[in-house]
Amino acid sequence: METHIYDEKNGLSYTLHGDYYLPDLVLNEEEPIYGKYGMLRKQFLKEHRLAKYQYLLLTGKLTEHLNQIDQESREQVEMLMEQMAEKQGVTEELKVQNRTKWVRLMNNIKASAEEMVLKLLKSTLFVKLPAIRFHILTSFLVGKLVVLPPFRGAIRRF
């Protein structure tokens, strides 16, 4: 009996172990570098989107997905903080003049930005394309939230 065989139907190679041929499977796992938002997304997927979590886990794309979500979320928080600070007039000049007020305002801005990103992270809207997420965030800041209904191409304005 051959110790190694290749099945052309499914593209897998097999190795003989005792009396059985077992597939030669290798898990290509990316290094997990995700932080707060990646861990929250993982928990959300486990609790509310189990099928998607299992699919990502079995295809070896879970860590890549969580790393991407974490990076995008941190970038969105930073972008929102910059926009909100500019809108509220929180500048370096204020930081020099009144440090405690600046810290108070920046903490408030950071908490608000993180809250908005966390709401998107937990919603199904966060699964859409990055351009759509950016559009939703921008619309949310302006006050004209655009929601994409599930399974439809139409856009509804609230």
For residue 153, the model assigns a pLDDT of: 39
In the structure encoding, which two tokens stand for residue 71, read together? 């990076």
Maximum Cα–Cα distance for the chain, whole Å? 83
Q: Domains in the chain: how many in total?
A: 2
For residue 2, the model assigns a pLDDT of: 84
For residue 141, the model assigns a pLDDT of: 52
Same domain flag for 63 and 15: no
- pLDDT, one tens digit for every residue, the chain (158 residues): 788 888 888 888 899 888 888 888 776 666 788 899 999 889 989 998 899 999 998 888 899 999 999 999 999 999 999 999 999 999 999 999 999 999 999 999 999 999 998 888 766 544 444 544 555 555 555 454 444 334 333 344 43
For residue 90, the model assigns a pLDDT of: 92
- Residue 10 vs residues 6, 7, 13, 16, 68: alpha-carbon distances, Å: 9, 6, 9, 17, 30
Same domain flag for 11 and 89: no
Residue 131 lies inside a defined structural domain of this protein: no
What are the CB-based long-range contacts (under 8 Å, 24+) for 147-154?
A: 150/124
For residue 60, the model assigns a pLDDT of: 82
Predicted TM-score (pTM) of the model is: 0.61
Same domain flag for 47 and 64: yes
For residue 92, the model assigns a pLDDT of: 92
Residue 157 lies inside a defined structural domain of this protein: no
Domain hosting 9: range is 1-27
Same domain flag for 51 and 83: yes
For residue 148, the model assigns a pLDDT of: 38
For residue 48, the model assigns a pLDDT of: 86
